Structure 1
């Protein structure tokens, strides 16, 4: 019985992750189509900006789209969706300490 519960939770998390990735993808595509959307010069094609907001000073990162398949980064996106939603302008806000995001980025 416990296995069924664990499997159900895992499926629920996968569905949530898919929703987060789809919304991020849609927001990135909308940014390209709109002339009023400003993309900073340091955000190259195939990248997106995130703000790591933890217990220390927030820090901005420019992350390659390939990180959308990194398991720990996907967990952070899920947490961001739960905490902040997608109704704000600017960089995506990630609920983690900047040093934690630096470790994730250094893994690749």
Structure 2
């Protein structure tokens, strides 16, 4: 049985004179550029400049991990975007605000979560929740003996 020669750099490459400007070389370069272009069109990268259909080209600020954006205000002209820690959504005080939003807007409200209260009221609720979480609030559970 005849074995092929060992795989080395010399028998892997063609001599430079045969590859420079040849039709096969041009075809390979063209196919490579097509593949690279197709890959860039099909892949979505954060900083690629690609905007999905139906999205606003103005970039919203990034949300920190563990937070949700909530829109607060009584009127549409008066709303502002507030970041709320996700853990607050389980608190009874925040639950009251969400129930009020449900009464006003219902479940099929388009867009983000809208809370129909002044921003100062939401900030007050957030401070109470934060105080309770740090142990300085009146909602501290008592140990049963």
- TM-score, normalised on structure 2? 0.42
Task: Look at both structures and tell me which one has the larger radius of gyration over its CA atoms.
Answer: 2
Q: How many residues align?
A: 74
- Matching of residues 1-108 of structure 1 within 5 Å: 40-54=60-74, 57-107=78-128, 108=130
Higher RCO, 1 vs 2 (CA within 8 Å, ≥6 residues apart): 1
SS across alignment from 1:86: coil
Q: Structure 1 residues 89 and 42 mapped into 2: Cα distance closer, same or farther (>3 Å)?
A: farther
For 2:71 and 2:62, the matched residues in 1 are separated by 14
Select the structure that is richer in helix: 1
Alpha-carbon RMSD across the aligned residues, in angstroms, is 2.8
- TM-score, normalised on structure 1? 0.55
Offset of residue 36 of structure 1: 7.3
Offset of residue 79 of structure 1: 1.2
8 Å CA contact retained: 1:52, 1:61: yes
Unaligned runs of 5+ in 1: 1-34
List, as ranges, runs of 4+ consecutive aligned residues in structure 1 with deviation greater than 3 Å: 35-42
